[in-house]
A and B are shown apart, each in its own frame.
Chain A
Amino acid sequence: DGGITQSPKYLFRKEGQNVTLSCEQNLNHDAMYWYRQDPGQGLRLIYYSQIVNDFQKGDIAEGYSVSREKKESFPLTVTSAQKNPTAFYLCASSSQGATRGYTFGSGTRLTVV
């Protein structure tokens, strides 16, 4: 079955370390997205990519970086420059134009200690 997979589900890192969150989809979707969700809050867009080898900053891109070398993969790196990285991170994908909405992964909860 097609889907979108985020790994790991839980991630712990020490302050000052970079960490990379994985997102893989086999839905043949062109576009992929990264969102951040804080407790009791909505979804905030970090980065998105509408095509391989191209991506754009979202509303809260500072302290994050991404790559899109393959259609299926859109990893997110949380760098040490991100001042408050502890959060729930959601990856999503869609067909071009998002006419049928997004398909979300199950999320990665990152805790920085």
Chain B
Amino acid sequence: GQQLNQSPQSMFIQEGEDVSMNCTSSSIFNTWLWYKQDPGEGPVLLIALYKAGELTSNGRLTAQFGITRKDSFLNISASIPSDVGIYFCAGRDTGFQKLVFGTGTRLLVSP
């Protein structure tokens, strides 16, 4: 099945640093979503984007819906240890009305 290309695959950063990750697709999506998965838990929705060019923030998190509708970006500012986890992007496939998930970015934060 289709998976979105997400990069980087993993990141190891110092507390206080900013983080950027992105997700690209060969298909156009009408909705982009970003999830965070804590170790041993299910993914939790962080941000949902519904319009090309849209920029949305949730606390220290900012996500953007790419103009081409084939990509999305997530930025985390001033990282803290509890930001540790796996971040997944997801695009909504309007044809099948299901989500297509990215391969995930594993984030590790050193105190």
Which residues of A are interface residues toward B (Cβ below 8 A)? Answer: 6, 31, 33, 40-45, 48, 50, 58-59, 88, 90, 92, 94, 96-107, 109
- State which of A44, A45, A97, A104 has its C-beta within 8 Å of the C-beta of B43: A104
Tell me the number of A-to-B contacts counted with CB atoms below 8 Å: 58
Q: Is B59 an interface residue (CB 8 A)?
A: no
Chain B interface residue bracket vs A = 20 to 34
CB pair A107–B41 under 8 Å, yes or no, is yes
Residues of A within 8 A of B33 (CB): 101
Residues of B within 8 A of A42 (CB): 3, 88, 101-104
In this complex, what residue of A is CB-closest to B1? A59
| CA–CA, A33 and B101, complex, Å | 13
CB pair A102–B1 under 8 Å, yes or no, is no
Residues of A within 8 A of B106 (CB): 40
Of the candidates A50, A100, A102, the one having the most CB atoms from chain B within 10 angstroms of its own CB is: A102
